[in-house]
Amino acid sequence: MRPFGRMAGSEDARVERRTGRTGRSERNLESPLRHHFYVYIFYTFINPFHTLFQPRNQRPLLMKHKLLIIIPAFNEEATISGVIASIRRHVPSADIVVVNDGSRDRTAGLAAGSGAVVLSHLYNLGIGATMQTGYKYARSKGYDIAVQVDADGQHPPEQIERLVKPVMEGRADIVVGSRFMGEGDYKPSIARSAGMVFFSQLVSAIIKEKITDTTSGFRASGKRCIEYFSSRYPDDYPEVEALVLLHKKGFSIMEVPVSMAERAGGKSSITPMKSVYYMVKVLLAILVDLMKKN
């Protein structure tokens, strides 16, 4: 007896077909005309539609491009494994790199254990430097698209596809997931909300296009943006300034609605004091960017 039973194409099966021990008529199975007929029917009528019935996460559009998910992570041991598992489930064709920004907890080990590539900063360098490390990696490995997904579980991986699609179709150089386009029920604190409204109006006025969520880090960048970000990326709290820099360089920016959760674990770095510093720092940085020639 064979341990795994009998395979359809095995020698046994072929012998049986020849000898007719399967009980089926030999003439039916061997008829080349009928075989060609089935093949013709399959490739003419059934195969052209097969992509419609594929599961969402195996859509050819996502598989045609080299896609990298960049996860910036600083002390995110509570959530990193779950975030990686969820990305794998929803975008199995993507590669994942975790940029561990000098975490003092088990973030790096857990990320490696979940199968992601892990790049570690020796010291905490901040989110700007963390993202730039990710973009440098994307560029060096020739990725077509890079998507930033936070390590704290705020960015839903099932919505990565809607960020990536316009970039793949050549409709935008960067696509930002916006919490304020009618999806989800994200409610920031009053102080944060004031800052968000202020920056959204400022950036919209500068780039002459409505941007509703300038602080969202849930974004997909195409090849040209990857190239640019690998050589220049703002420091602290970089998301707002990055949009102004991209606009200055002539890149096209698009927003799509997304829903975002609250942090699923760990600790937010944004205290009320830091929010004030953030506002002033980003404002000054944008003014300097606008004054600079290049």
Q: Which of residues 151-190 bind Mg ion (CB under 5 A)?
A: 152, 154
Of 143 and 237, CB closest to Mg ion:
237
Rounded to the nearest whole angstrom, what is the least distance from the CB of residue 249 to ligand GTP in the complex?
24
Of 73 and 168, CB closest to Mg ion:
73
Rounded to the nearest whole angstrom, what is the least distance from the CB of residue 62 to ligand GTP in the complex?
23
Rounded to the nearest whole angstrom, what is the least distance from the CB of residue 126 to ligand GTP in the complex?
4
Q: Which of residues 139-158 bind Mg ion (CB under 5 A)?
A: 150, 152, 154
127 binds, among ligand GTP, Mg ion, none (CB under 5 to 8 A by kind): ligand GTP
Of 153 and 252, CB closest to ligand GTP:
153
Rounded to the nearest whole angstrom, what is the least distance from the CB of residue 44 to ligand GTP in the complex?
50
Rounded to the nearest whole angstrom, what is the least distance from the CB of residue 103 to Mg ion in the complex?
15
The size of the chain, in residues, is: 294
Write out the residues near ligand GTP by the rule CB under 6 A: 72-74, 76, 101, 124, 126-127, 130, 150-152, 154, 217, 263, 268-270
| Alpha-carbon distances, residue 165 vs 95, 145, 155 (angstroms) | 17, 10, 17
Which of 146, 184, 181, 171 is CA-nearest to residue 256? 181
Of 5 and 272, CB closest to ligand GTP:
272
Of 63 and 264, CB closest to Mg ion:
264
| Cβ atoms of residues 108 and 120 within 8 Å | yes
Is 213 one of the binding residues for Mg ion (CB under 5 A)?
no
Contact footprint for Mg ion (CB under 5 A): 150, 152, 154
